[in-house]
Amino acid sequence: MNEEFEKNIDILNDFIADKNDSEISATELAKILKNIKKNDEELFFQYLEKMPSDILGEIVLELPDRFLKEIIENVPKNSLKEAIEELESDDATDLIQDIEDVDSEQAKEILSFLDKEDQEEIKKLKRYDDEQAGAYMQTELFMATYDERIQDALERLKQEKREGILENIHHTFIIDTLGRLMFTITLEDLILFDFNKTFREELKDKEDEFQPKYVQDTDEIDEIVHIVENYDLTSLPVVDSNHKLLGRITSDDIHDLVQERATEQIYGLAGVDDEAEHEENITEAGKSRASWLFVNLLTAILASIVIGLFDKTLQSYVALAVLMPIVASMGGNAGTQTLTIMVRQLALGEVDFQNAKEALWKELILSCVNGLLFGIIMGLIAFFWFKDWRLGLIIASSMQINLLLAGLVGAGIPLLLKRVGIDPAIGSTVILTTFTDVVGFFSFLGLASLFLLK
C-alpha cells in the first residue's frame, strides 16, 4: 500500500473512533473514500458502513453518482434509512431521487422505512420541477407567531437546537395565525429585543425594518440565484400563492447550484458531456468526445469544400495559402470571446431578451473596431511580406468582414438557443467555428479571385 493510502486509512480510523473531536467535512471524507475505492473496493464499503448516520447521507451525496448503484447493493437499507432521516429535507429528497434514478423499487422501499412526516415532506418536494424554487428549499426553519413571547420563542429555539431538529439557523420567521409570513428577523437583531415582550409589542414601531424578502415556491430558480447574490442573503423564505410560509432556500444550496451550472457551461462550450467526463470508464468519456469531434469533422470538411472552390486561385498565388489560416483563426478567436461572454452573462441574468439589442450593439462595435485595427496591422504585414498592396488590402478587408460577422454570430447564437429553450453553451462553439471558417475562407479567397486573377 502507498503512503497516501495508509494516511487516508488513519484519518478514517481517527474520525470513526472520535467523531465529535474531528473537524473533517463530508466532502473531504467522500474524497478520501473515493481514493480508497480505487485501491480496495471491499475496504471502501467497510468504512462506508462504519460512518455515523448523521454524516453518511452527506458523504453519499458527495460521492460520484456512478457509485450509487453499488452503495445501494452493499450498504444495509436500515443504514441508508437512518442517514436519510438525518439529512435536511432538501438533501433527503435529492438522495431519494438519486436512488430512484438507479433503482426505483429500492427507492420506494427505503422511502417506506421513513416515518410518515419525512415521507410527506419528501413527496411534497419531489413534486416541484427542477427549475422551480420549491425543489431547492428545505422545510426545516425556525418560526414564531406574532403574539408569542420572545423569551418563549428563544427557549423553543434552544430546545430544538439541542435535539438536532434545527441546523444553520440565521433567521426567525414571524407568521400569523394562518401561517402566513409577516417578518424576517436575524438572530443578531433578535438578541437586542426585550425578551419579556411579544413580537407584536416589540415590532410595533419597527415593522418597516423587518419586512421580508421572499420568493414563491413556483418561481424560477435563476431568479432566486440573482436575489441571493444581489442582496448577499444567507437564506430566503419560500411561500405559496397564499403567502403561507413553506420553507427556506439557503445560500450554500445556491452556491452549489451556481458551481454546477458553471461547470456545465465550461463543458458545454468545450463540446463534452460533464457526466461522461466524470465516469471512470474511459469508454463513456471517449464516446462523448468522439460524437462532438465527428460533428467538428463534418464542419471541417465543409470549410475544405469552400477552399476547394478556389483551387485555381490558390495555385496562382501561393501566398494566399500562407495567409489564409490567419483570417479564420482571428475570426474564430474573436467569436469565441464574444460567445463566452454572452453565455456567461445570460447565465448570470445580466443579459436577457429585453436588453439583448444593447448587448448586440456593444459586441458589433467591438468587432468593428477590432476588425479595423487588426485588418490594418495584417494588411501592412502582408504588403511588406509579399510586396503586393492588393494582397494587403484583400486580407485587411477579409479580416474586417470575418471579425464583424464573428461578433454578430458569437453574440447571436446564445441568444437564439436561449430563445428556443436550448442551453446556450451546448454546441455553440461548433456552430461558431464552422461559420468563421467558412466565411473567413470564402471572403478571403473570393476577394482574391476578384482582384488578383483579372
In the chain, where are the structural domains located? Answer: 3-127, 143-250, 271-452
Which has more confidence, 164 or 92?
92
pLDDT band (50, 70, 90) for residue 4: confident
Q: pLDDT at position 286, please? A: 67
Contact 237, 174 (CB under 8 A): no
User: What percent of the chain stands above pLDDT 90?
Assistant: 39
Q: Does residue 352 surpass a pLDDT of 80?
A: no
- Kindly tell me if the per-residue pLDDT of 281 is higher than 60: no
Give the mean model confidence (pLDDT) for residues 31-35. 91
| Strand blocks (E) in 36-170 | 143-145
Query: Average pLDDT for residues 74-81, to the nearest whole number?
Result: 89
Q: Reply yes or no on whether the pLDDT at 287 is more than 90.
A: no
Look at residue 136 in the predicted model and tell me its pLDDT.
92
Local confidence band at 24 (pLDDT 50, 70, 90 cut-offs) = confident
> In this structure, are strands 245-250 and 235-239 parallel, antiparallel, or unpaired?
antiparallel
Higher pLDDT, 164 or 186: 186
Question: N- to C-terminal Cα distance for the chain?
Answer: 75
Grid cell of 68 as nine digits: 450509487
Tell me: domain 143-250, CATH 3.90.1210.10, correct? no
Do 143-250 and 3-127 have the same topology in CATH? Answer: no
Burial of 70 (0-12, 13-18, 19+ CB in 10 A): middle
Class of domain 271-452: mainly alpha
Q: Into which CATH architecture does domain 3-127 fall?
A: Alpha Horseshoe (1.25)
Distance CA 436, CA 327 (A): 9
Residue 21 pLDDT > 80, yes or no?
no
- pLDDT value at 454 more than 70: no
Examine the pLDDT at 433 and tell me if it is beyond 50.
Answer: yes
Give the ranges where 349-386 is alpha helix by DSSP (H).
Answer: 356-386
The three cell numbers locating residue 154 = 428563544
- pLDDT given at position 200: 95
- Give the least confident one: 39-43, 80-84, 352-356: 352-356
Q: What is the pLDDT at residue 265?
A: 66
Q: How confident is the model at residue 277 (pLDDT cuts 50, 70, 90)?
A: very low
Among the residue ranges 178-187, 198-207, 240-249, 285-294, the one predicted with the least confidence is 285-294
pLDDT mean over 133-139: 92
What is the residue-averaged pLDDT of the chain? 86
Per-residue confidence (pLDDT) for residue 8, from 0 to 100: 85
Distance of CA 255 to the CA centre of its chain: 9
Please give the pLDDT value at position 198. 95
CB–CB of 252/170 below 8 Å? no
Count the helix, strand and coil residues of the chain and give each as a percent rounded to the nearest 5.
70, 5, 20
How high is the pLDDT of residue 194?
95
Which own/partner contact pairs does 261-265 have at CB distance under 8 Å and 24+ positions apart?
A: 261/347, 262/347, 264/423, 264/425, 265/343, 265/344, 265/347, 265/423, 265/425
